Each structure stands twice: as C-alpha cells, then as structure tokens.
Chains A and B, each alone.
Chain A
Amino acid sequence: MPDSITPEIFRHLVDLAALELDEDEAEYLRRQLNGQLKAIAELESIELDSETAVTSHGVPYPDAIRPPLRSDDVRPANEADDILAQAPATEERYIVVPDIPHTELE
C-alpha cells in the first residue's frame, strides 16, 4: 500500500504545524504517521447509516446538569505580574518578539 502521507504532504503539514525537524526525525515521524493511518483505516470497515449523529463528547449535558452562566461581573485578576514574569523576553511590560513577517503596502 503506498504511503498516504508522502514526503510532499508531510512537508506541508510540518509547515502548518510550525515545527523545525531534522531529516532523520522527519522520516521517523512520517513513517509512524503512515503506520497510524493503517490503524485508522479500521474505521472504514464499520457501516454507518446516514442517521448516525456525531458525538463530540460522551456524557450528554442536558440543562439540568449544566452549570448556569456566570453573572457578568468585573472581578479582580491580580496575577498579571506572575503571568508576565513567565514570558521569555519582555521590555517595560511588553513581550518582545522578533520581526513579524509582513508585506509593505504601496
């Protein structure tokens, strides 16, 4: 069976995923993904009639057990300094990033 995820498709996925990979790692990952697709192909053997709905989570959430929406109140959040302290590079409470790719408009 030919690989579903060709090197070309793989490169596209890697670009979408914003990952820099070395060659050996890339080939290992691509092989694993194609192996996983063979397991996923098991799903094709199940007959689904058109009425089978999708389930996005297992336990139903009827209104009776769904928490009510919170009231829209202003609440203090005092963790700003702690959160900002986690950023790898900051300057005067701004987070520093390198150049953002952009196109100059004429």
Chain B
Amino acid sequence: MTDLCDRPAHELVGLLQSGETSAQAILESTLARIDAVEGRPPTTAPYIEQPDDRTRVHAYIAVTRDLARRQAKAVDDGLAAGRDPGPLAGVPVAVKDIFCVQGTPSTAGSRILETFVSPYTATPVARLEAAGAVVVGKANLDEFAFGSSSESSAFLPPPGNPWDPRRVPGGSSGGSAAAVAAGEAVVSLGTDTAGSVRQPAAFCGVVGLKPTYGRVSRYGLIAFASSLDCPALVTRDVEDAALVLGVIAGQDAMDATAAVVPVPDYRETLDAGVAGLRIGLSPDYIRLRFPDPVSGELRQQSIAPEVEAAVHEAAQALAAAGAEIVEGVPMPNTRFGVPAYFVISRVEAASNLHRYDGVKYGYRFPGEVADLKDLYRKSRGRGFGPQPKLRILMGMYVSAEQYEKAYYPRALRVRTRIRHDFEQAFDPAGPYRLDALLTPTTPATAFEIGAVYGDSVLMQYADLLTVPGNHAGVPGLSLPAGLDRQGLPIGIQLLGADFHEAMLLRVGRAYESLTASAGWRRVRPAVLQSVGSS
C-alpha cells in the first residue's frame, strides 16, 4: 500500500473526511519520510561535504515539527467537533523559505536574513493554513531565489534531486520540488520569477504551476524582481494543482497588484477533455540560440532530443484525443528572454536588496566599524553570497546613467516584443487562436551538482524556455512527461492566455489521463527505493 505521504492531496482530504485517517497520521507519515530521506540539516557554517550528502534530499532549511503537530491536532479536533476542516484539511505543505511565516525564521536562503523571524504571515501561506493545510517546514532555495539549481543557498548541503541526489533538483524552488517528489510534503509553495517552480518541477518529475502575474497575492513574499515574481505551486498531480490554486488565488487588500478577477472552481472543468481545443507547437522553443553546454559559446542549436521527443509524443496523444495541433507557431523573441531578464531582473533586484543594511533586521557585522557606511559595507559584504552581489552590481551597471547604453529601456522594449508573441498566439481573432502552447519546460534534464554552479551565464540559460512566460506574465504549467535514458524526469510545459489557468489544468489533466498507464509513471525516485512502504 502507498504511504500516506506519497498520496495526492485530493485523496488525503477524502480519506480524512470519511474518517479513514487523521491529519496527525498523515503528518506522522510525512515526518517519518523526512527522517528517512532528508539527511543532516543545512547550516550556514563553512561547508565541508560529507560522504552521505549526495545520497540525501536536504529539501528543508527548517522542519517546523511543533507547529505542524499543533496544526494537525487542530484539524483533527475540528473534525471531531463536526466543523468543516477546509479544502486542504490535514495536507502537509512545504513553504519555500522566501515566504514570511509568522514566528518562524524566514531566511530567503541568505546569511543576511539568518536571524530574521517574521512578524507576519504571507497571504498565500495564510490562505493555505485557513484551508486546513499543515506547514511542515521551510524549503531550501537559491539565495533570494537567485539561481536555477538551489546550490547558491547559504544553507548547505544543497538540496539533491530525489531521482539522483548527485544531481540538482533545479531551482530556485529546488527544496519545494524535491520535498514533493520525495514524499516529504504533499504539496508545496514556491515562487517563479524566471521558471523557478516549473524548472525544478520538471527536474523532479512533479507538477509545477506558475499562475498569471496578479492571480496570487505577493504580500509576504520577500521581493526579488517585483514585476516578474509569482507565487507558484508544486504538486503531485494536476487535480492537486487545481485544488491548491483555488485556495491561494484572488484579490488581496494587502497587494495592489493582485488582480480583481473572479476565481473559478478550477476542478469543475478539469475533465472536459481536449476535443476541439487548439494546441500550438513552436519551432522557436525547440531550436534556438543558447550557450553550448560544453564550450559555453552562444550558438543556434536544438534542445536535448529526448526532451523534444516527449513534446511531440504529448502532441500526438492530445491529437488522438481530439485536439487540433497547430504547428509552426512563431515565437521569434523566445531567445531574447534570458538576455532581457539579465537586465530587467537585475535592476529590480538591486533596488529590492538596498533594504538589507545591518540596521533594521537580519545580519549585522559584529566587529569594529568606522561609521555607518562602513557598517553597511561590512554587513552586506559578509551577509550576501555571490549571487546577490552579482545581481546588485549588474543592476547598478545597466541602470546607471553613465554606463547604461540604453540597456534598460531596450530590455523593456524587448519585453514588449515577447509579450506580443504570446498575444498573437492566443488572440481569438488572430491566425493561431491557441488554447495552449505546448513546449518543453527545460532544454535538458537535471545536471550534476557542481557542474554549472559558478558560471552565472550558463546557469541563467536553464530558464531559457520558462522566462518568456514571466516577461509576458502569462500562466505556465509544467507536467512530468517521462524519463530519459538516465532515468531522469522530463518536463513539458503548457503556456496559456492571461488568467486561463483553468484551460492549462484541463489540458494537463487530459495528458495525465492519456498517459496514466505509461510505464514511467510507476517508477519511483531513487531515494525512495530504499524506503519501505507500509
């Protein structure tokens, strides 16, 4: 029998409501799994790799056992008293440690916030808790979400991929995705600024949903690039994604960018099928200019053949179910997504990181300083790791009047062009009239720990196929779509029009049903093969 911690949330909620299990039993199953696969807790001490480190998952910066046990007991007590326990009652969630949760350390994976204990809770987390979810811990991430592998966290060992812990789980929400894949949480909350939920979901063989910008409140999310940041979620299947999005979406008096758009019941249309839907394929997501994985030189090339094949197989399956596949959809500005992101996200990050000064909260250099400016320099110099430093410096360079060479205005105009590609593809009166665009999520499957980290250009290009959606603000859904020859998960991506998450979930669910009997769906991540099932 499958362990409780390996089941999807919608099943667990059903079991709970029918009295077949309890929130506390679900939680204990999850905590037992954490004990079995997690490994030693990450710290900010100088990192010396131990032999065991690359066999474990290290998904969490902090496991909040006491908080979780209190919340689980409250759910069970509520049920016993006949109260409605909520749509996510008893579901163990991991929260990326870039969301503030009252009374817990909220570090953003940075030494500069190591001592910060949040005085308030982020809106998406508060909504999960109000729906009965149980917060199991704060998941590890790239420092301030700056990365695509989770290796830049100040808290080490870095997270490992549950399918091969010598490899990265992706990033920046690597801990969130690894936790769900390894049964250390049933669902998790992450963020997606350039692909930070979709890419790790693809690498870890789970579902990742980046909603439309404005669909979910950013209140309580530690800011990186405010015009691109999106609270996003990782789940085991599409139905869970629909369930969780329904809970966290919607306007919020605390975030003026949370749009006033009604939140549909995303589960209602899940099984409507794909007959008659127009699903697009674009050559610009298959063959494009990106750095050679070996030489690092930018050149026109194709993505990994097995990833490309997974996209075509998915298109064939959807076509057989009645979808109309529209080939040759031009998305000519896809390849400019990363260069434009190098400019826009850095300018916004530099601005957002000015607040960390060693004065109001977080790390303060404890030694002698000459004056206030020296305190800033020493606190920031020691508190920030290399990624925040790079982002601050680049942000200042490309926006400084004497150097900028119109970098920033040019990048913002390129962003207009990227947005235009999507508007044209989804325009109901246009030539393509797509309901969804089907693409690969990543150019290749998970890479080894240490193979890319340190080369900030190569690392940024891991977001090649996800970042255009962030520039445009449109929703994106990454789905597991098989395993490559090395047994590593492959992800495919569905992109849709603004606020059309229900359409992506519907297509995603259809794909899931069409491939339900595929052999790869029964393969378990490597770290679970040594864990006995109860």
B366 (CB) vs chain A CBs: closest residue:
A88
- Which residues on B sit within 8 Å (CB–CB) of A13? 393, 396-397, 400
Q: Which residue of A lies closest to B342 (CB)?
A: A40
Q: Does A1 belong to the interface (CB within 8 Å)? A: no
**Contact in complex: A54, B359 (CB < 8 Å):** no
* A61 and B359 alpha carbons, distance in the complex (Å): 36
- Chain A residue numbers with a CB within 8 Å of B378 are 20
A39 to B298, CA, bound (A): 8
Q: How far is the CB of A37 from chain B (nearest CB, A)?
A: 8
Q: Inside 8 A of A58's CB, which chain B residues have their CB? A: 213, 227, 415, 419, 470-474
Looking across the interface, which residue of chain B has its beta carbon closest to that of A9? B403
Is B361 on the interface with A (CB-CB < 8 A)?
A: yes
The verdict on A19 contacting chain B, using a C-beta distance below 8 Å, is: yes
Closest B residue to A62 by CB, please name it.
Answer: B259
Closest to A59 in B: B473
B99 interfacial by beta-carbon distance below 8 Å? no
Cα A41 to Cα B336 with chains together (Å): 10
Cβ contacts under 8 Å, B373 to chain A: 18, 101
A57 to B227, Cβ gap below 8 A? Answer: yes
Query: How large, as a class, is the contact surface on chain B?
Result: 35 or more
Answer whether residue B57 sits at the interface, using C-beta atoms and an 8 A cutoff.
no
Contact of A57 among B115, B213, B251, B338 (CB under 8 A): B213
In angstroms, how far is the closest chain A Cβ from the Cβ of B420? 9
Cβ B227 vs Cβ A86 within 8 A: no
CB distance from B382 to the nearest CB of A (A): 8
Assess whether B342 is in contact with A55, with CB atoms less than 8 Å apart: no
Q: Does B272 belong to the interface (CB within 8 Å)?
A: no
A86 touches B413 (CB 8 A): no
A74 within 8 A of B: no
Among B48-56, B404-412, B486-494, which stretch is in contact with chain A? B404-412
B81 → chain A closest CB, angstroms: 29
Q: A32-B456, A40-B398, A100-B371 are in contact. Are A66 and B260 (CB under 8 A)?
A: yes
CA of A18 to CA of B396, assembled, Å: 11
- B117, B335, B361, B392: the one contacting A87 at CB < 8 Å is B361
In the bound complex, CA of A4 to CA of B120 (Å): 43
Q: Is A36 an interface residue (CB 8 A)?
A: yes
Instruction: Knowing A43-B340, A46-B336, A98-B372 are in contact, say whether A66-B419 is a contact too (CB < 8 A).
Output: no
B407 to nearest A CB, angstroms? 7
Query: Which stretch, B7-15, B38-46, B383-391, B522-530, touches the partner chain A?
Result: B383-391
| Chain B contacts for A5, CB-based, 8 A | 397
CB neighbours (8 Å) of B403 from chain A are 4, 9
Decide yes or no whether B358 CB sits under 8 A from chain A.
Answer: yes
B381 partner, pick from A21, A38, A59, A101, beta carbons under 8 A: A21
One digit per residue, 1 when the CB lies within 8 angstroms of any chain B CB and 0 when it does not, for chain A 7-50 equals 00110011011111100010011001101101111111010100
Whether B393 and A29, one on each chain, are in contact in the complex, defined by CB atoms closer than 8 angstroms, is yes
A39 touches B339 (CB 8 A): yes
| Whole-angstrom CA separation of A32 from B376 in the bound complex | 23
Q: Is the CB of B397 within 8 A of A33?
A: yes
Residues of A within 8 A of B212 (CB): 59
* Most B CB within 10 A of own CB, among A53, A55, A98: A55
Residues of A that sit less than 8 Å from B by CB: 4-5, 9-10, 13-14, 16-21, 25, 28-29, 32-33, 35-36, 38-44, 46, 48, 52-59, 61, 64-67, 70, 79, 82-83, 86-89, 95, 97-101
- Can you list 7 pairs linking A and B with CB atoms under 8 Å apart? A19-B381, A33-B394, A53-B413, A59-B474, A79-B120, A89-B364, A98-B370
Top 3 nearest A-B pairs (CB, nearest first) are: A58-B473, A20-B381, A59-B473
